[in-house]
Structure 1
Amino acid sequence: MPYDFGTWDRNCNAEQSQPLTGTLTGTIPSWLRGSLVCNGPGLMKYGDHEFKHVFDGSAMLQKFTISETGMTYTSKFIKSFAYTTNTEHQQIVVSEFGTRGCSVTKGFLSKLGSKFQFDKMFSDNPPVTLARFGGAYYATTEAPFLHRIDLDTLETGEKVNLHKLLNLNSQCPHPVTLADGATVNVHSAVGPLGPRYEVVKFPPTCPAGADSVFAKPVKLASCETRWKLNPCHMHTFGLTEHYALLPEQPLTVDVTAMVANTIKDKPLIEGMEWLKDKQVKYRILSLETGKELKLKVKSESFFYMHIANCYEEADHLVFDVTTFETPSLLHQFKLENLRTKGSALAGEVDSGCIRRYVVPLNESVKAAPEENLVKLPGAQATAHRQKDGTIFLTSQKLSDVAYENPVVNPAMERKPYNFFYGISGDMTSNKASVGKVNVRTAEVTRWDAPDDVYAASIAFAPRPGATAEDDGVLLVHCVHAERRRVSLWLLSAADLSDIASASFTLATDAPRALHAVYMP
C-alpha cells in the first residue's frame, strides 16, 4: 500500500488539557518514569484561512507521561504572538515559512510599514523543538525568538526576543547544551562588513547584575558569511570541545528577493535560492581563539537539516549528516502539492542518505593531490588537497536512505560513538521505519511500524547505571492513518524490538511532531 501523505495534513483545533489515558500493550520497564514532550505544527486554520505549508502550523506541545500505571496524553498550543494575533483576528496575520500573512492595518502606508515590522516579517511561532537554557526549556524556531515552557503544565511563559536584546537576526533552532548547563548556538547578525555568523554561549545560570541568562552571552567565535546578500540556511551545526563546524550549503536566503517578496506578499520560501552549481563550504571556528581556521574545506553539494553527531578524534573532525541532493522536499511539502499528488508524490521525494565526512586538522601543506589526508584508522571518508589549496572531502555513505531527526545516547553527544537512531526517509510504503545506524560498520537495524502507523519524533532514554551505549529505550511518537489516533512506542535501543505501546484516540486531528525531549 502507498505512503499516506495525509498524515502530514492535519489540523488540530483543540487542546487536550485533561490527561487522556491510553490503551496499553506490553510492560513498561520499571525504571522508565517520566515524560516525552513533542513539539511541532498543530493548528493549520484560522477561520477560513489555511496555512499553505506543513511546517507553518501554530506550534503545539504533546506530552506523553509514563508512570507505573500506564501512559497518559495531554496537549497545549504555544501562546506565541503569532498564535494570539491570528486567534484574535481569526485569520492568518503573521507570515510563516510558506504562507504570507494578511495585514489588518488600514491605509496603504500603514500596511506597507506593518509588513516590515520584524514580528510580521519573521514569525515567533516556534514549532521546531525544545532547547534548554539556564535550566529551563524553551520552544524554538529559526527566527530569534524563544518561548519558555513549563514542561509540567505545558503552559507558555516569557518570550525572549534576541533581535531586540542582542540585535541577532536568526538562530539555529537546535542549540547545544553543554555538561555544565551552558548552551551554545549559532546566530546571524549584521556587522560593519555585512552578515556574520556568531557562535554564542549562554551561561548555565543568570550572571550577577543581569536579568536573565540571555542578557550577557559570551561570543565564542565569528566569521563573515560566504555570500554577502545570500546567507546560507543553517538548521543545525557541529560543536566539539575545541571547534564549531558550520557547513555552508548552497541553499541561501536571498536578502534582495526577501525584501521584494515582502512587498509582493510572497512567503519566505519564495526568497530561498538553491545555488545548484556551488559546493558545500565548511567554516571551522576555533573556540579558543574565536577565529576561523585557515583551512579551506569543501565537499560535493548537498542539502541538509540535521547533523547526527560531530566530534574530534586524533586531530580530525568527524561528522555524520543526513543529506539530500537538493532542497526540493521543502517545496514538495506544500499542502496543495500533498493533496493533488497524493501517494504519487512518494516517487518524487528524495529519500536521502547518511554521509560521514572527516576533516583533517593537521594536514600537510606539501601533500600531493593523490594523498589521502584522512589518517584515522578504519576511516573510509577521504580528503585531498586541490591545486588551489582547498581540501576536498569525499564522504562515506552510512546508509542508502536518510534517517531524519537523528538522536544519540545523550552521554555520547560530541564524542566518538557507535550508533544513532532516526526516522527513515523512505516513503514508498504505508508505514514509517525507525533505524539504528551503526556508524562503525554502516549496518542498519530497522523497526518497521505496523501498517498505517507513521513514526514522527523520537528520543533516547538511557537506563540508569547502564554502561553499554545502546542500553536504554527508544521512545517513538507515532501518528496513524486514522486521523484522530496517536501512539507512543517503547523500543529496545539494543535491537529495536517492541517493549510496550500506548494508543490514544483524540477529539480532533492528531498532529505530527517534529522533535521531542525525554524528561525522566
Structure 2
Amino acid sequence: RRALFRRRQRMCDSRFELKDGAVSYQCRFLQSDIYKRSTTANRLVLTGFGTKAVPDPCQTIFSRITSIFNCAKDVRDNAAISVYPFNDEIYAFSEAGIICKVDKGNLETGTKRDLTARLAIVTHTSHPHVVEDGTVYNLGLSFSRKGATYHIVCFPNDKNNDQDAMFEKAQVVSTVPSKWRLLPSYMHSFGLTEHYFIIIEQPFTINIPKKVLSSIFSKTPVHDVCKWHKEAETQFLVVSRKTGQLVKTFYADGFFYFHTINQYEDMNHIVIDICTYKDSSSIDKFYIKALKNAQSDSNFRDSVNSSPQRFVLPLFTDGKFGDNQNFVKIPVSNAKAFVRDDGSVHVEPESICRHNCELPTFNYNKCLGL
C-alpha cells in the first residue's frame, strides 16, 4: 500500500540556481494538510480529481454527511498544479479554493489562503493571469439556488507590497451564469486581453447532484461525475473588463481543453490560441494504469496529443449580412466566423502548426492583457 501511495505524492515546482558557473537543483513536497494527513494515515484521506480516498472504517454515514458541510475538517489544500506571483511572493495553486505560499529561497510551504471564505467561490482555475501592474485575475465558480455561476475575481496590486491587502481587497468583478444550471463546465484556464475576459465553456461538465451524493456514499473522484456532451458546442463568453458584463457569445464545434496559449486583440477581433482535444477521453490516459500501458497502447499517442488551434472572434457581426460571409478580416488568417440563421456566430479555427503541443507558456511581453 505504501508503494501505491507514494505514486500519488505531488511535488512543488523545482528550483534552479545559477551561481559561480554552477547550477544547483532543489525540489520539495508541498507540505499541505492533505499530504501530511495521508502520510500519517498511510492512505489517501481525501478524494481528488482522479484519485479515490481509501475509506475510513470508523466513519459512519452520518459523519460523511456532516463532513460535506464542515470544510474545516476536510481542507482541500493540495495546491500542486501551478505557481504564480502575488507581489513579490509566490503561491501554489490547484483548482480548489486554497492556495499555499512557497518560500522562494528554500521552497518551504508557508501561509495558506482560503479564497472560498472571502469570495464565496468553491473552485477556481489553476492558471490566473498576472497583468503588468501586478494585479491578479482568476475565474471562479459558485453555486446557489439559481444554479452554477462563473465569477471573474480580481486581486488588486498593492503599491506597498502588502500581501494581506491584495487578498483583503479581492472582489468579484464579473458574474456570468452557467449554460446548464447544475452542470457547470470544467475549466482549467481562461483568456484575458486588453479589454475583455474570455470564458471558454466547454461541453465537459461536472454533475453537481452526483458529486454531492458521491461525497456521502462512494467518495467517487471528481472525474467520475463529469460527462462529455458529444453533441454540444463550446461557447466563448466574451466579458467586458470595464463593465463586467457579458457582451458577446461565440460558438464552436465541441472540443476539450486544459490550456490557452496566447490571446490578444487585433483589428476589432479577439484572437485566442488553445491546445485543443477532440473530446475528454485524453483524461483517461493520465491514470497510472494507462501510463504504465502507454507503450503497448496503440491509441495512446493519438488520445493525448492536443492540437494548437487559433480561434478568431470578430466583435462587429451585429446586423444583417449575406449568407456564408466570413467575418474574419485579419489578413493571412484562415480562421472563419459565420452568422447563423438564428443570429448566433459560429467560429471555425485554423491550425497554428502541424505539431502537437501542451503545457504552453504565455508570451506575456507581446500578448498580456494590458
TM-score (structure 1 length as normaliser):
0.66
Q: Aligned to 2:154, which of 184, 201, 204?
A: 201
Q: What do you get for the CA RMSD once the two structures are aligned?
A: 2.4
Count of paired positions: 366
Are 1:80 and 2:35 an aligned pair?
A: no
Aligned equivalent of 1:165: 118
Separation (CA, whole Å) in 2 of partners of 1:241 and 1:192: 34
Structure 1 residues 150 and 314: alpha-carbon distance in aligned structure 2, compared to 1, 3 A threshold? same
Q: Which secondary structure state, in structure 2, belongs to the residue aligned with residue 110 of structure 1?
A: helix
Letter matched to residue 339 of structure 2: R
Aligned equivalent of 1:500: none
Q: Aligned to 2:368, which of 371, 394, 414?
A: 414
Separation (CA, whole Å) in 2 of partners of 1:187 and 1:71: 38
Separation (CA, whole Å) in 1 of partners of 2:103 and 2:257: 31
Aligned equivalent of 2:184: 231
Separation (CA, whole Å) in 2 of partners of 1:122 and 1:324: 32
The one-character-per-residue Cα deviations of 1:46-69 (angstroms, maximum 9, x if unpaired) are 736537xx8x53333321212232
Q: Aligned to 2:332, which of 356, 378, 383?
A: 378
Asked if structure 2 preserves the Cα contact closer than 8 Å seen for 1:338 and 1:345, the reply is no
Letter matched to residue 90 of structure 1: N
Separation (CA, whole Å) in 2 of partners of 1:347 and 1:270: 21
* Shift of residue 165, structure 1, vs aligned partner: 2.4
Aligned equivalent of 1:404: 358
Are 1:273 and 2:227 an aligned pair?
A: yes
Structure 1 residues 346 and 184: alpha-carbon distance in aligned structure 2, compared to 1, 3 A threshold? farther
Aligned equivalent of 1:220: 173
Aligned equivalent of 1:93: 45
Separation (CA, whole Å) in 1 of partners of 2:151 and 2:55: 33
The one-character-per-residue Cα deviations of 1:86-125 (angstroms, maximum 9, x if unpaired) are 1222221122211122354734122443356446777321
Aligned equivalent of 1:30: none
Separation (CA, whole Å) in 1 of partners of 2:344 and 2:188: 25
Are 1:345 and 2:326 an aligned pair?
A: no
Asked if structure 2 preserves the Cα contact closer than 8 Å seen for 1:147 and 1:160, the reply is yes
Separation (CA, whole Å) in 2 of partners of 1:107 and 1:75: 35
Letter matched to residue 64 of structure 1: F
Structure 1 residues 278 and 119: alpha-carbon distance in aligned structure 2, compared to 1, 3 A threshold? farther
Are 1:254 and 2:207 an aligned pair?
A: yes
Asked if structure 1 preserves the Cα contact closer than 8 Å seen for 2:271 and 2:311, the reply is yes
1:451-466 equivalent positions in 2, closer than 5 A: none
Asked if structure 2 preserves the Cα contact closer than 8 Å seen for 1:105 and 1:114, the reply is no
Asked if structure 1 preserves the Cα contact closer than 8 Å seen for 2:121 and 2:141, the reply is yes
Aligned equivalent of 1:133: 86
Q: Aligned to 2:317, which of 353, 363, 384?
A: 363
Structure 1 residues 386 and 100: alpha-carbon distance in aligned structure 2, compared to 1, 3 A threshold? same
Structure 1 residues 281 and 119: alpha-carbon distance in aligned structure 2, compared to 1, 3 A threshold? farther
Identity %: 26
Q: Which secondary structure state, in structure 2, belongs to the residue aligned with residue 91 of structure 1?
A: coil
Q: Aligned to 1:327, which of 248, 258, 280?
A: 280
Asked if structure 2 preserves the Cα contact closer than 8 Å seen for 1:135 and 1:205, the reply is no
Letter matched to residue 289 of structure 1: T
Structure 1 residues 371 and 64: alpha-carbon distance in aligned structure 2, compared to 1, 3 A threshold? same
Q: Aligned to 2:127, which of 174, 179, 182?
A: 174
* Shift of residue 141, structure 1, vs aligned partner: 0.2
Structure 1 residues 266 and 344: alpha-carbon distance in aligned structure 2, compared to 1, 3 A threshold? same
Aligned equivalent of 2:245: 291
Aligned equivalent of 1:448: none
* Shift of residue 212, structure 1, vs aligned partner: 3.7
Aligned equivalent of 2:197: 244
Separation (CA, whole Å) in 1 of partners of 2:161 and 2:108: 28
Q: Which secondary structure state, in structure 2, belongs to the residue aligned with residue 298 of structure 1?
A: strand
Asked if structure 2 preserves the Cα contact closer than 8 Å seen for 1:85 and 1:93, the reply is yes
Asked if structure 1 preserves the Cα contact closer than 8 Å seen for 2:191 and 2:197, the reply is yes
Aligned equivalent of 2:77: 124
Which structure 1 residue ranges, 4+ long, deviate > 6 Å from structure 2? 119-122, 206-210
Which has the larger share of strand? Answer: 1
Are 1:387 and 2:332 an aligned pair?
A: no
Separation (CA, whole Å) in 1 of partners of 2:365 and 2:139: 22
Separation (CA, whole Å) in 2 of partners of 1:376 and 1:320: 15
* Shift of residue 234, structure 1, vs aligned partner: 0.9
Asked if structure 1 preserves the Cα contact closer than 8 Å seen for 2:251 and 2:347, the reply is yes
Asked if structure 2 preserves the Cα contact closer than 8 Å seen for 1:96 and 1:268, the reply is yes
Q: Which secondary structure state, in structure 1, belongs to the residue aligned with residue 297 of structure 2?
A: helix
* Shift of residue 362, structure 1, vs aligned partner: 1.4
TM-score (structure 2 length as normaliser):
0.92
Separation (CA, whole Å) in 2 of partners of 1:386 and 1:176: 33
Q: Which secondary structure state, in structure 1, belongs to the residue aligned with residue 167 of structure 2?
A: coil
Q: Aligned to 2:5, which of 42, 50, 53?
A: 50
Asked if structure 2 preserves the Cα contact closer than 8 Å seen for 1:59 and 1:77, the reply is yes
Q: Which secondary structure state, in structure 2, belongs to the residue aligned with residue 264 of structure 1?
A: coil
1:10-89 equivalent positions in 2, closer than 5 A: 47=2, 49-50=4-5, 57-89=9-41
* Shift of residue 155, structure 1, vs aligned partner: 0.8
The one-character-per-residue Cα deviations of 1:119-165 (angstroms, maximum 9, x if unpaired) are 67773211211011233110000111100011111011101111122
Q: Which secondary structure state, in structure 2, belongs to the residue aligned with residue 214 of structure 1?
A: helix
Structure 1 residues 111 and 372: alpha-carbon distance in aligned structure 2, compared to 1, 3 A threshold? closer
Separation (CA, whole Å) in 2 of partners of 1:409 and 1:342: 32
Q: Aligned to 1:106, which of 49, 58, 65?
A: 58
Which deviates further from its counterpart, 382-391 or 217-226? 217-226
Are 1:303 and 2:256 an aligned pair?
A: yes
Q: Which secondary structure state, in structure 1, belongs to the residue aligned with residue 212 of structure 2?
A: helix
Asked if structure 1 preserves the Cα contact closer than 8 Å seen for 2:119 and 2:171, the reply is no
Segments of 5+ residues of structure 1 without an aligned counterpart are 1-45, 417-520
* Shift of residue 219, structure 1, vs aligned partner: 2.5
Asked if structure 1 preserves the Cα contact closer than 8 Å seen for 2:192 and 2:369, the reply is no
